[in-house]
Amino acid sequence: DQQVKQNSPSLSVQEGRISILNCDYTNSMFDYFLWYKKYPAEGPTFLISISSIKDKNEDGRFTVFLNKSAKHLSLHIVPSQPGDSAVYFCAASWGITGGGNKLTFGTGTQLKVEL
Amino acid sequence: EAGVTQSPTHLIKTRGQQVTLRCSPISGHTSVYWYQQALGLGLQFLLWYDEGEERNRGNFPPRFSGRQFPNYSSELNVNALELEDSALYLCASSLFVEAFFGQGTRLTVV
């Protein structure tokens, strides 16, 4: 029962172009969403998050969009840089007072930014 | 400010043995989470500790257990190791929702 899905296991983008990573979820109780980046043999690094009361959040080159009706979120990276090459995980939470503060992760998308 | 630290970084154990992994959270964080990332798979939630108590547990057998100490550090214990327990074990801490991860412990069961 995969409640958070990242259907694209890999994505290849040219340097300077936009990277769009997608994530779908099934549990309508999720109210907070996060993106993490992970390099091999390291722990995930928090990138950006969005609450369900918003539909967009920006932080520098990273923008997360949330479409609650479609239960879909996406991470846009503009412009993409070679250092962005990593595995990106989408995660969801339904908050502290609900089912707990644990994060449910997707299976990840390997982004490769080529020169 | 020190991040989440885990020890050891690598470990090799024999099937049937027991192992203890350790985690120190970011100072001021009261919640500690444990996740397993098996080869080629995503992060699977194992355990959540907050204020010294187990708050939530993932879909793992009882031989996976842990505890949180008064200083909020945590241990993950795995008994009767099986080959499929070979994975990267990640600890994370948080104050609110965003969790910050350590480097992980790579466990290999042979």
pLDDT tens digits for range B10-59: 999 999 999 999 999 999 999 999 999 988 778 899 999 989 999 889 99
Selecting from B41, B55, B88 the residue whose C-beta is nearest the C-beta of A100 gives: B55
Percent residues over pLDDT 70 in chain A: 93
Rounded alpha-carbon distances, angstroms, from residue A45 to B5, B16, B31, B34, B107: 14, 33, 17, 15, 21
Domain enclosing residue B95, as ranges: 5-109
Q: Quick one: pLDDT band at residue B98, thresholds 50, 70, 90?
A: confident
Q: How far is A70 from chain B (nearest CA, A)?
A: 23
**A60 in B contact zone (CB under 8 Å):** no
Highest mean pLDDT among A2-11, A94-103, B90-99: A2-11
**A100 in B contact zone (CB under 8 Å):** yes
Q: How far is A102 from chain B (nearest CA, A)?
A: 7
Percent residues over pLDDT 70 in chain B: 99
Q: Which residues of A touch B100 (CB under 8 A)?
A: 46
Smallest Cα–Cα separation from A84: which of A58, A114, A64, A59? A114
The CATH number linked to B57 is 2.60.40.10
pLDDT tens digits for range A58-114: 999 999 999 999 999 999 999 999 999 999 999 998 865 444 567 889 999 999 999
- Going along chain A from its start, the domains and CATH numbers come out as 4-114 (2.60.40.10)
- Mean pLDDT in residue range B86-110: 92
The number of distinct structural domains making up chain B is 1
Selecting from A46, A102, A106 the residue whose C-beta is nearest the C-beta of B98 gives: A46
pLDDT at A42: 86
* Encoded tokens for B97: 């929702």
pLDDT at A99: 47
